């Protein structure tokens, strides 16, 4: 279907010319239409071959390429070539056509001024459409690059979220190791005391010894299992990591953060997993407030409601005059993702986002009672790459991908640099599309100066040679006596060309406003005259 539309588009103008003018144009159309159909068929695989067909037919019809019936084909095939051909082969092709036009104008047309006209027509009919096609191709590539980078970024987000979940689960496993290892150690110590208690009989002491050995073996197996989950280079903890919300707040105050605490004792009665989650929520939220809102007041609130403990950490927007103490601090962009995973595994939910006053708020709802075994983790929301809010996801992406702004900075990501390079190529292509035709036009105008000088000096017909011409002389014999080039068109006051004749003009003198007109009909000189202001 596309081939048929293309063939109809490029063949319409030659057919219309044949219908309107009849005669020789009918024969020309009979030859041109099949060739243009073939060009439409092969232009997909060989774009420059498709352009060569209308170029050749246009030159055959007019050395100056002033054959309007072939201009649509030149424009269409030039545009398609711009989308499929690299710059260098296309420029070589257009340069070859331009150079080939010079001998045609000199030896066939015998009019040197036809060459600048031919170059200008080639530029407008083929060169400019080719540049537009090339610009369109690079724009399409930029759009494709943008979508490809967006897909890569989404994949990176999902991968970062998965890694954050795994790290947080490893930390939770470490917490379990700390607390369970501590309990198993105490159990082994008590069993060892029973093993040497003289008040027990031998069987009881043996059972206590077996209990001590089982506790020690369980502790070793727990250490091995948790060690597999730890990241490379992370040492296994040797002491129980303890801490309360009040201790975290006190530490933040000691560091210079303005923090108020309400209901801090509410976290003491939570189950171990929920208590650790509340501790981590406050710790991570205070860290983020110190990084992103230095000098702002932070409020930590813990409250019970409907068998759930709500932990809220909210900070005001940073004061304008506050020093940016968080500048330069590394941020992995996955803190909220890991925090959400810890809260979810504790049976709670996490919400975070900006406040209406310009600050930021993190809220976690945790169960007061220990969830049943196998139901401690809240279900993950289906279809989300991040279990946190969209605002936090965007925040995490921008933290994890430095330089994702308008232009790539020194620490920009690979995706940002690739997108910036694609935009740079598009801007360069757009500049070339606008500036290259202007440069070519300027070059043609500059070329016209020497062409005008050469054409004027080599188109002067000697007065004695003109006087010796007689009507009826064969055209070949007349042309042997003529100058190398004809004049660039008739003078302003020249009369109309007689019907059935073809007239050529020669200068009477260098830079003269008059011209000698020789009109031919049926292969012989039909009339001669001097035309112009004094003719």
Could you read off the pLDDT of 355-374 as tens digits, one per residue? 888 899 999 999 887 665 54
CA 391-352-263 angle, to 5 degrees, is 165
The DSSP bridge partners found for residue 505 are: 517
Q: Alpha helix (H) ranges present in 255-368? A: 272-292, 335-345
Phi, psi at residue 360, to the nearest 5°?
A: -145, 145
Tokens found for residue 191: 């069993």
pLDDT, tens digit, 9 for 90 and up, residues 467-519: 999 999 999 899 888 888 888 778 877 888 888 898 999 988 887 788 999 99
Residue 231 has pLDDT above 70, yes or no: no
pLDDT for the residue numbered 314: 94
Nearest by Cα to 285 from 207, 201, 220, 364: 364
pLDDT digits (tens, 9 = 90+) for 243-253: 678 888 888 88
pLDDT of the residue at 72: 92
Q: Region 429-439: what's the mean pLDDT?
A: 69
Residue 295, classed as helix, strand or coil, is coil
Residue 16, pLDDT > 80, answer yes
- Of the candidates 273, 279, 467, the one whose C-alpha atom is nearest the C-alpha of residue 367 is 273
The helix/strand/coil state of 532 is coil
Compute φ and ψ for 313, nearest 5 degrees: -125, 115
User: Inter-axis angle of helices 71-84 and 128-195, to 10 degrees?
Assistant: 20
Whether the CA torsion 144, 147, 149, 155 is positive or negative: it is: negative
Which tokens in the block code for residue 322?
């506050």
Q: What's the pLDDT score for residue 402?
A: 39
Max avg pLDDT among 60-69, 218-227, 443-452: 60-69
Asked which of 201-205, 228-232, 477-481 is least confident by mean pLDDT, the reply is 228-232
Query: Are 362 and 350 a contacting pair, CB within 8 Å?
Result: yes
Q: Is pLDDT above 70 for 242? A: no
DSSP string, 459-524: SBPPHHHHHT--TT-BHHHHHHTS-SS--SS--TTPPPPPTT-EEEEEESSTT-S-EEEEEEETTE
Distance (Å, rounded) from C-alpha 365 to C-alpha 278?
9
pTM: 0.45
Count of other CB atoms within 10 angstroms of residue 352: 22
| 308-315 and 349-354 strand pairing | unpaired
How do beta strands 502-507 and 360-367 pair? unpaired
The whole-chain average pLDDT of the chain stands at 77
pLDDT digits (tens, 9 = 90+) for 140-187: 887 887 788 778 878 888 888 888 777 777 776 666 655 565 566 657
In the predicted structure, residue 384 carries a pLDDT above the cut 70: no
Q: What is the DSSP letter of 531?
A: E
Q: Are 510 and 462 in contact (CB under 8 A)?
A: no
Mean pLDDT of 58-71: 88
Per-residue pLDDT of 88-105, as tens digits, reads 888 899 889 988 888 888
Q: How far apart are CA 367 and CA 309, in angstroms?
A: 6
247 DSSP 8-state letter: H
Provide the terminal-to-terminal Cα distance of the chain, rounded to the nearest Å. 60
Contact 531, 514 (CB under 8 A): yes
Cβ 437 vs Cβ 131: under 8 Å: yes
């Amino acid at each position: 279907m596309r081939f048929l539309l293309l063939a109809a588009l490029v063949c319409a103008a030659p057919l219309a010319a044949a219908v309107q003018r009849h005669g020789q144009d009918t024969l020309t159309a009979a030859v041109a239409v099949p060739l243009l159909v073939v060009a439409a068929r092969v232009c997909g695989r060989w774009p420059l071959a498709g352009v060569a067909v209308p170029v050749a037919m246009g030159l055959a019809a007019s050395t100056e390429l002033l054959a309007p019936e072939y201009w649509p084909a030149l424009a269409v095939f030039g545009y398609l070539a711009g989308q499929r051909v690299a710059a260098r082969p296309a420029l070589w092709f257009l340069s070859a056509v331009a150079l080939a036009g010079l001998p045609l104008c000199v030896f066939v047309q015998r009019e040197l001024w036809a060459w600048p006209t031919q170059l200008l027509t080639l530029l407008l009919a083929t060169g400019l459409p080719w540049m537009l096609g090339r610009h369109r191709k690079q724009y399409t590539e930029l759009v494709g690059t943008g979508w490809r980078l967006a897909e890569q970024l989404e994949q990176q987000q999902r991968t970062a979220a998965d890694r954050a979940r795994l790290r947080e689960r490893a930390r939770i496993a470490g917490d379990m190791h700390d607390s369970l290892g501590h309990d198993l150690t105490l159990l082994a110590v008590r069993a060892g005391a029973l093993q040497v208690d003289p008040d027990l009989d031998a069987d009881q002491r043996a059972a206590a010894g077996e209990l001590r050995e089982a506790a020690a073996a369980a502790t070793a197996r727990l250490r091995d299992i948790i060690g597999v989950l730890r990241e490379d280079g992370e040492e296994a903890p040797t002491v129980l990591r303890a801490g309360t919300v009040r201790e975290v707040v006190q530490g933040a105050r000691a560091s210079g953060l303005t923090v108020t605490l309400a209901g801090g004792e509410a976290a003491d009665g939570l189950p171990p997993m929920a208590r650790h989650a509340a501790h981590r929520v406050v710790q991570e939220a205070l860290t983020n407030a110190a990084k992103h809102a230095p000098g702002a007041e932070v409020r930590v609130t813990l409250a019970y409601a409907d068998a759930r403990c709500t932990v809220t950490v909210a900070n005001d927007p940073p004061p304008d005059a506050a020093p940016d103490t968080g500048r330069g601090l590394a941020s992995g962009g996955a803190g909220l993702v890991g925090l959400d995973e810890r809260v979810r595994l504790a049976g709670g939910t996490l919400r975070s986002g900006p406040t209406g006053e310009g600050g930021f708020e993190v809220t976690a709802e945790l169960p007061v009672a220990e969830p049943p075994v196998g139901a401690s983790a809240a279900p993950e929301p289906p279809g989300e790459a991040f279990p946190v809010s969209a605002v936090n996801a965007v925040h995490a992406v921008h933290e994890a991908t430095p330089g994702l702004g308008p232009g790539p900075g020194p620490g920009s990501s690979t995706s940002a640099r690739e997108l910036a390079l694609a935009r740079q190529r598009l801007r360069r292509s757009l500049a070339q599309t606008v500036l290259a035709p202007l440069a070519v036009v300027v070059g043609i105008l500059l070329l016209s100066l020497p062409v005008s000088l050469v054409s004027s000096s080599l188109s002067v017909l000697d007065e004695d040679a003109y006087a010796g011409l007689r009507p009826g002389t064969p055209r070949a014999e007349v042309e042997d006596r003529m100058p190398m080039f004809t004049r660039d068109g008739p003078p302003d006051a020249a009369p109309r060309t007689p019907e059935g004749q073809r007239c050529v003009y020669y200068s009477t003198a260098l830079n003269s406003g008059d011209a000698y007109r020789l009109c031919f009909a049926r292969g012989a000189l039909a009339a001669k005259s001097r035309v112009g202001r004094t003719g």
